[in-house]
Amino acid sequence: MMLSESLERGGPTGLLLHAEGKNGRVAGTRSSHSTINGTTGDTGEVTIFFNRLLRDIPSLRKNATATVVLPPYVDCKRCADFPVSQNKVSAICSMHREYHFISTPILSKPMQNANGLKTAATIVLLIMVTTLLIILYQGAQKKIARQINLQDVTLQTAPLIVAWTNYFSTSLKIPLLATLNDCAYRCEFIDREELEQHSSYVSAYVIHGRDMNVSDLPSLHSSSIHVLMLMESPYHTGGGIYEVPRNYFNATITYRRDSRYFHPYGHFALRSGEEDVSDIITKEQRKTRGSLIFVSNCNTPSKREKLVRELGKLTSITVRGNCESQLAVGNEMRSFSCKEDCDDDSLIATHRFYISFENSVCNDYITEKFFMRASQILIPIVAVRRVYEDAGIPNGSFIALDDFGSMKELADHLTDLRQNDTKYLEYFEWITRYRKPTAHIGDALCKLCEDIHSRSRFHINDIVTYYKDGQCE
C-alpha cells in the first residue's frame, strides 16, 4: 500500500517532508541536531526539503535512496553533515550557492517527475553556465598570457641590453657602460659575443650606425627595443641607415637633445660652491701663443679648412694632424717643436685658444673639439653661436666667429686677448661656478633601462627623415 505524507513548513523552523513507501510511514522527531536519526517501516524513497535551521528527522534504512535539494538560504557547511546514502549521492555547486544532492532513482517515480525535471533542468542550466564561465575565464587568461611577453621572466633578473655592433674599432661598452652608473634601474649590458652565455630574453639592441651591416641585424620583435646609435653629423652617418627598413628602429642614442636617449659629447656640471681657481689663473697668464687646432678631416661640409686658412693669414695658428700640409698657414706651426702625435700637454700649456670649428654645422652637434678643449682651459673658437646656446654651456666661455663682421675683426680680437690678460681671463669666470666639462657622460642606457622596466613603447616611422631633414646648414 502506497503511503504519502506532507508536512508543510509553517514557520522559520518548519520542515517540509514528502515520503513514499510500500509498507510503512516515515516518522520521526525534531531536535537541534543536524544528523539523521530513526527508521522507516520498509524500503522506500523520500524527498526532503529543509531550510537553514536543520532538524533531526527520521532516517532511512540503508536500502533507501533520497534526493535532497538545498535552497540558497541553506548553509553549505551543514550539508556535509547529512549522511543519507552517501555512496549514491553526487554534488553540484553553482555560483549562486545552490547545492543539489541527487539520487537518480527517485527522478523516475511518477509522483516526482515534475520536481525531478525541474531539478534536472536547473542542474543542466547551472552546468552550462559554469562551463561557459570557465571557458570565458580560460580565454581571458590566454589573452593576458599572450600580452605578457617573455620580459616578465627576465625582469625577475636584470633585463638584457645587447651591443649588436662595435663602436668603430672598440666595444660599445666604452662610450655607454658608464651611463648605467648610479642608475635606479637594473639592467645588464653585454657585447654580442657574450650572448651565448646568457639564456635571458634580449630586451633591447643597440646598433652603431657606422658599423651596421644591414644583412646581419637582429630580427624585429614587438617586445624588443631597437636603438640606433650615431654620434656623427647627418653628413657622416654611413650608408646603413639608407638600406635598413626605415621603420626598423624604435629610438636613437645621439648627441641631439631630442633623441629618446640623449648622449652628449660632454656637459658642464655646477659646482656645489665657489672654488679657489688662482692656480688655474696663474697657469693661463703664462700662455703666450695664439690658436691651436688638431684636425684629421681635410674636406668638410662646413668648409672648416677654408676658414682656418683665412684666419691663419691674419693671426698665428698651430696646426697638428693629417691636414698640416693643406692648412699650412705660416711659420707658427713649424717654429714650435713637438712629437708628431702630440695632442698635447706641451701644446695645451702654451696656447690660449683652440679652433673648434666642427666638420658640419648641425643642430646640437658639439663634439669633443669643444668640450675637451674647454676642460683643458683653452678658449674654444666656434663657427656659429646658435648651435651652442641653450646647450648647457656657460655664457662667456667661448668665442663665436659669427659674432664678428669679418675674419679680420675676429683676428684683431684674438690679438687683443693675447696682449690683455684682464680681458682674456674674463673668459674663465665660468670655472668658479662650473666643474670642467666631462666627456661622454649621460644617462642614455639608464633611460633605456627605465623604458624596459616600464614597458614603454615608441617608434620612428622613417629613420632617414628623422635624422637628416632640417638638421644642418
The CATH number assigned to the domain with range 154-263+444-468 reads 3.40.50
Q: Is the pLDDT of residue 10 over 50?
A: no
What's the confidence (pLDDT) of residue 161?
A: 96
Residue-level length of the chain: 473
What's the confidence (pLDDT) of residue 321?
A: 80
Which residues in 390-437 belong to E strands, given as ranges?
399-400
pLDDT grade for 131, boundaries at 50, 70 and 90: confident
21 versus 298: the higher-pLDDT residue is: 298
Query: What are the distances in angstroms from CA 442 to CA 124, 309, 447?
Result: 66, 35, 10
Backbone phi, psi, residue 382, to 5°: -115, 165
Q: Which of 188, 232, 310, 429 is catalytic?
A: 232
175 versus 409: the higher-pLDDT residue is: 409
- Evaluate whether 154-263+444-468 and 270-438 have a shared fold: yes
Bridge partner residues of 18 (DSSP): 6, 47
pLDDT grade for 119, boundaries at 50, 70 and 90: confident
Q: Is the pLDDT of residue 392 over 80?
A: yes
d(CA 205, CA 217): 10
What's the confidence (pLDDT) of residue 460?
A: 94
What's the confidence (pLDDT) of residue 13?
A: 30
Q: What are the boundaries of each domain within the chain?
A: 3-144, 154-263+444-468, 270-438
Each residue's pLDDT tens digit, 157-176: 789 999 999 999 999 988 88
What's the confidence (pLDDT) of residue 329?
A: 55
Would you state the cell numbers that stand for residue 426, as one nine-digit string? 674674463
The CATH number assigned to the domain with range 270-438 reads 3.40.50.11660
To which H or E segment does residue 352 belong? strand 351-355
Q: Average pLDDT of the chain?
A: 74
What's the confidence (pLDDT) of residue 163?
A: 97
pLDDT grade for 296, boundaries at 50, 70 and 90: confident
What's the confidence (pLDDT) of residue 179?
A: 82
Name the packing angle between helices 407-419 and 304-312 (round to 10°). Answer: 60
Each residue's pLDDT tens digit, 308-338: 999 999 999 998 887 766 665 554 443 343 4
d(CA 281, CA 372): 18
d(CA 53, CA 166): 80
Each residue's pLDDT tens digit, 192-238: 999 988 877 899 999 999 999 999 999 988 889 999 999 999 999 88
Q: Is the pLDDT of residue 470 over 90?
A: no
d(CA 179, CA 393): 20
What's the confidence (pLDDT) of residue 335?
A: 34
Bridge partner residues of 362 (DSSP): 472
* Listed residue (322, 314, 312, 377) closest to 350, CA to CA: 377
Each residue's pLDDT tens digit, 32-70: 333 332 333 333 333 333 333 233 334 433 333 344 444
d(CA 415, CA 412): 5
Known catalytic residue: 20? no
